[in-house]
Amino acid sequence: MTRLSVNINKIATLRNARGGNVPDVTRAALDCEQFGAQGITVHPRPDERHIRYADVREIRPLIRTEFNIEGNPTVPSFVDLVLEVVPDQVTLVPDGHNAITSNAGWNTLENRSLLSDLCKTFHAKGIRTSIFIDPDPDMAEGAACCGADRVELYTADYAAQYPQDREIAIARYLETAKAARAAGLGLNAGHDLSLENLAWFVQTIPWTEEVSIGHAIISDALYLGLEKTIQAYLGEIRKK
């Protein structure tokens, strides 16, 4: 069964817009777990415009389910943070410092040396390592050569194409997911997954181990409430 990991960055964005501690990011993480989320994802950036390094340190010992930290491992402070708090999973994302959100996956062939060293570094601390990739079978095979445990498929293109033709939207992802499985990799997915397109993705690629969703969940929660929203997403995952 695919696990739902809730990315709480947007809750931190709302807090930071006003200052203070409302909404309480740590409380929100614990509430997400209580409401059924099977994981919590954070993506700290060097400018701390949403999740702060201090948030990560505070949340880590309180999480009972899976804790996933995403970020750019070319930033030394990010690597240091991951090694300090030892999450269940680290997801390596090549986002630029000024990027509003993640917008591309790794070229695992061109960056094999860097990614291989990072996988070894994190494995030494017992941290499962996932590499964020575009839907390209070569990138999945490259991630396996780097020593990754999983890949996370960047699903922005899938989400954009889904309203026009879901079969075309999923095709390249299915091909890449098959390549990842053949290479012995676990499979995650994330970016712009929503109540509209989530069920089709996990039905077509049922060996998806985890989906990481933040923006859509927090947006839907404005209307449905956080508990009902998380339950709605879990319902989409469980559809047959």
**Which active-site residues does the annotation give?**
43, 70, 191
Backbone angles phi, psi at 115, to 5 degrees: -70, -35
- The helix or strand, by DSSP H or E, that contains position 172, with its residue range, turns out to be helix 166-182
Q: Judge whether 90 and 82 are in contact, CB under 8 Å.
A: yes
- Please tell me the distance from the alpha carbon of residue 211 to that of residue 214, in angstroms, as a whole number: 10
Separation CA 127–CA 38 (nearest Å): 18
- For the CA atoms of 67, 114, 119, 93, the dihedral, rounded to the nearest 10 degrees, stands at 20
The DSSP symbol for 111 reads: T
| Of the candidates 191, 194, 197, the residue with the CA atom closest to the CA atom of residue 162 | 197
**Sole residue written with tokens 């696990």:** 3
Q: Report the alpha-carbon distance of residue 209 to residue 118 in Å, rounded.
A: 22
